[in-house]
Amino acid sequence: MPPSSLRVVYAFAREMHPKTTDVFIQYGTAGFRTKASLLEHVVYRMGLLAVLRSRVKNGRTIGIMITASHNLEPDNGVKLVDPDGEMLEQSWEEIATRLANVSDNDLESTTAEIIKQVNSDMALKASVYIGMDTRYTSPRLAAAAVHGVMALKGTPKEFGIVTTPMLHFCVKCRNDNTYGTPTEEGYYEKIVGAFKNISQKLPVVGNYNTTLYVDGANGVGGKKLNIIKKSLDGELDLVLFNLGGNGGKLNLNCGADFVKVSQKPPVGIEHVPFQRVASLDGDGDRLIYYYVDDKNEIHLLDGDQIAILLASYITELLKSCGAQELRLGLVQTAYANGASTRYITQELKVPVTCVKTGVKHLHHAALSYDIGIYFEANGHGTVVYSKEAKNVVRKIAEEGEAEQRKAAQLLLNFIDVTNETVGDAISDLFLVESVLRARGLDVRDWAALYRDVPCRQLKVTVQDRNVISTTDAERQCTSPEGLQTKINELVSKYPSGRSFVRASGTEDVVRVYSEADTQESADKLAAEVAQAVFDLAGGVGDRPELPE
């Protein structure tokens, strides 16, 4: 494409999506995320970048998702999805940041520089899939993405309102037709269809009951489950709440992030003791289970417990198949509860890899196993299966002895329920329900597998999050000077004490995580570490306090 034909890039920017702010915005662990009012020019430019990425990948389809996930409604965001349904390749994050921040006057020349830098063949066709969540700002931002794709003569395809994992799934299917059909219906057909197959093979036994309450966070996930609900044929009775009506605001006092961080049940439902409840987040990629006991205390079953439940069942199926040669491993971050790591390594005898926070790091590490299970404690995760693992299980399903064939068929269905591209609340919900059903467990049985060490998360607002540097998968702080020494000193005062700090990937806050032998001690340790961060890392505003 000759430079003169890049004039339209500037024309679209100037006339329709001008850059009206000097606020620097960075592509973080979840793409760009900030107040929606600051994003229109950024999303337009991501349309441009998606076309270049598609051409660098020989015309394979790239995804653009408009979402701010678990953030509150005034925020929004955008992230790119690579051809295999994975996060954008890390080396392109700097390119995305540069393109997002240049002035409109420099946009044309910067686009030309990037074309040259990444060696994008502008004669190739380019395909971009665009999805959005339910925020009122999303349609306008999706239109900006479409204009960016058109400005560089790419072909946009809009999916409208979908969960983030649905868009990842469709991108993967478009580039690999053996994975499924790249439509919302194709997603239901594969994932829900496989869950129904499993359910039909497994009678309801023990303490399991088919009624599940689901908190939809007033977002897209609840809306999609409302569609799915009608096709479940009684295999799972979904009672849905927080579906966005009655003035309910997205992620406000509800949803997976609220439940996990505040350790409180969401608004919108009268809780019955020991009722099984699943909470999704706003864009449907995180899942937390919980129940409230007869003393009105909440018990969380978060990403750690989900990972353990899935790992124990897959291990059992592999044994029944006679396929123990396949290497199964679990990937966690520093946020994983210490008790979960001990249970996985000592009881399940499954290896654990610890990586930096961010799904891209977990996903990459999980690929080193034949079967890799990764979950962040916040409920974001999935299972990935190598081609070798699928082939081994498929062969047993066809040629093994009767009992082995039965277990292998179940595992093949389990693989099909899994959205391997990214953490997916709906897919993970069906995986969890499959295991609870197979084992005849209720939430109390599940919670009794092991007991979490009490923990607390806090955040401290700082002038510049980049003052915090870490090493050892974010478990040790290397700057500012003296902070790690202070953390070590505070931790040493508490039995079973553990604490770490890390900069947020999306905003100027420092996140503090602490564990100790009692909830009171965990709370106290978190508050003390937060105070140290405030003093040594340039805290602004009010001094950190514990949530009530």
Nearest to 452 by CA among 263, 271, 302, 245: 302
| 175 closest CA partner among 124, 121, 122, 129 | 129
Please give the Cα distance from 260 to 302 (Å, whole number): 7
Q: Is 543 annotated as a binding residue?
A: no
The verdict on whether residue 285 carries a ligand-binding annotation is yes
Q: Would you say 69 is a known binding-site residue? A: yes
The strand pair at 455-461 and 498-503 is best described as unpaired
Other CB atoms within a 10 A radius of the CB of residue 174 amount to 22
Annotated ligand binding at 511? The verdict is: yes
Angle between helices 402-417 and 193-201 (to 10 degrees): 150
User: Cα separation of 158 and 147, whole Å?
Assistant: 12
502 known member of a binding site: yes
Is 320 assigned a ligand-binding role in the annotation? no
Kindly name the residue from 69, 127, 138, 434 that is annotated as catalytic. 69
Residues 510 and 501 sit within 8 Å (Cβ to Cβ) = yes
Residue 406: other Cβ atoms inside 10 A: 16
Is 505 part of any known ligand binding site?
yes
Nearby residues of 344 by Cβ (< 8 Å), 6 or more positions away? 307, 308, 311, 330, 350, 352
The residues, any chain, with a CB within 8 Å of residue 397's CB and separated by 6 or more, are 405, 408, 409, 411, 412
Angle ∠(414,260,419) on CA atoms, nearest 5: 20
Told to judge if 69 belongs to the known catalytic residues of this protein, a careful annotator would answer yes
Please indicate if the annotation marks 178 as binding a ligand.
Answer: no
Q: What would the two tokens of residue 216 be?
A: 């939809």
Q: Is 471 annotated as a binding residue?
A: no
Strands (DSSP E) along 265-313, which ranges? 277-280, 287-292, 298-301
Q: Does the annotation flag 442 for ligand binding?
A: no
Q: Please enumerate, by residue number, every residue annotated as part of a binding site for substrate.
A: 376-378, 502-506, 511
Catalytic residues: 69
Q: Please enumerate, by residue number, every residue annotated as part of a binding site for Mg(2+).
A: 69, 281, 283, 285
Q: Please enumerate, by residue number, every residue annotated as part of a binding site.
A: 69, 281, 283, 285, 376-378, 502-506, 511
